Amino acid sequence: MGESRMTKSGSAPLQHIPVMLEEAVEGLAVKAGGRYLDGTFGRGGHARAVLSRLGHDGRLLLMDRDPQAIAAARAAFADDPRVAIRHDNFSALADWDETAAGLDGVLLDLGVSSPQLDEAARGLSFMADAPLDMRMDPTRGESAAEFLARADEREIADVLWQFGEERQARRIARAIVADREASPFTRTGQLAALIERIVGRREPGKHPATRSFQALRIHVNGELESLQRGLEAALERLNVGGRLSIISFHSLEDRAVKLFIRDHSGRVQGSRRGPPVAATPARLAAVGKAQFPSDVEQAANPRSRSAVLRVAEKLA
């Protein structure tokens, strides 16, 4: 949900700017009377752009797992008869009766939003000392502190490597387990300091805890599992000719989206070392190539630098 970025510690957060706004909404090919779902409302930048293209008979469905995002959605759109709002993970979009009539487009702006980063109490950033929570929906699930308190060394290391590609995953996990009995990890600053002690300042301009914090956030929120379920649900609910428009912010997300589109494209799969796998009927087709933010957008909003947009259309 990349709506801007947080500035360095001590300075004010930047304005919440929707990433690749025009490109993502253009990808939906919005029809005035169509039905669209924004599964990651955030603070509504993309949703407002979609709504501006809808006529009186159009319908916009808004979802977010973050209670604060849903409160913002209700404050902005509760009086618009074209809009329906649901507090839930977009992975459960097929469980919402509003989607049963079919959708003409689904927009997902993945990852963590700037409002979530800017609120230190959420524990998503190492830029300010705060409770080590990291949940996008603080009313559900296990916090990062609870995970680090009960997981064994191998499980912690696996999470840091799988979701953060942290080369020092084993050393960090070993240090967490060694230190937690005397001093449980409950604060972001405490964890960031341990990681900095283990890893050191190896990458100029990048805090040594960056990869580990990303990994823990992805794990705590089940982000990749949610993405896979959400993609499957969206494909089932899309009408023929409906569009997926998905913005990713790291390679794990983008690879999942790319492979999902490929695997439903009807192309013969397989490798040069083995027999080809029989093609399944084509259900999706990529619309153009992956898109990236312009140089102008990246200069205005550095948070957008890692964004990748992929668009696909349902064939059958």
- Weakest-pLDDT range from 125-129, 203-207, 275-279: 275-279
Return the CATH superfamily for domain 115-221.
Putative methyltransferase TM0872, insert domain (1.10.150.170)
3-class secondary-structure state, position 200:
coil
Residues of the chain with pLDDT > 70, as a percent, come to: 87
Instruction: Quote the CA–CA distance of 269 and 202 in Å, as a whole number.
Output: 40
Is the pLDDT reported for residue 256 higher than 70? yes
Q: Please say whether the beta carbons of 306 and 250 come within 8 A.
A: yes
Element containing residue 25 per DSSP (H, E): helix 21-28
| Residues with Cβ within 8 Å of residue 96, at least 6 apart in sequence | 61, 63, 86, 88
Q: Specify the range with the lowest mean pLDDT, choosing from 19-23, 118-122, 169-173.
A: 118-122
Q: Are residues 96 and 86 in contact, defined by beta-carbon separation less than 8 angstroms? A: yes
- Asked if residue 64 belongs to a known ligand binding site, the reply is yes
Average pLDDT over residues 49-56: 98
Query: Residue 46 annotated as binding?
Result: yes
CA dihedral for 221, 223, 225, 226, sign (positive or negative): positive
Q: Do 280 and 270 touch, CB atoms closer than 8 A?
A: no
In this structure, of 20-24, 102-106, 200-204, 211-215, the range with the lowest mean pLDDT score is: 200-204
* CA dihedral sign, ordered 258, 161, 141, 18: negative
Does 269 show up as a binding residue in the annotation?
Answer: no
The answer to whether the CB of 148 falls within 8 A of the CB of 173 is no
Q: pTM for this one?
A: 0.88
First and final C-alpha spacing in the chain: 29
| Angle at CA of residue 146, ends 119 and 210, nearest 5° | 50
Q: What is the pLDDT of residue 268?
A: 58
Environment class of 284 (CB within 10 Å of its CB; exposed 0-12, middle 13-18, buried 19+): buried
* Count of Cβ atoms closer than 10 Å to residue 190 Cβ: 15
268 or 155: which leads in pLDDT = 155
**And the tokens for 98?**
């509003």
To the question of whether residue 27 is assigned a binding role by annotation, the answer is: no
pLDDT bin (cut points 50, 70, 90) of residue 160 is very high
241 labeled binding residue: no
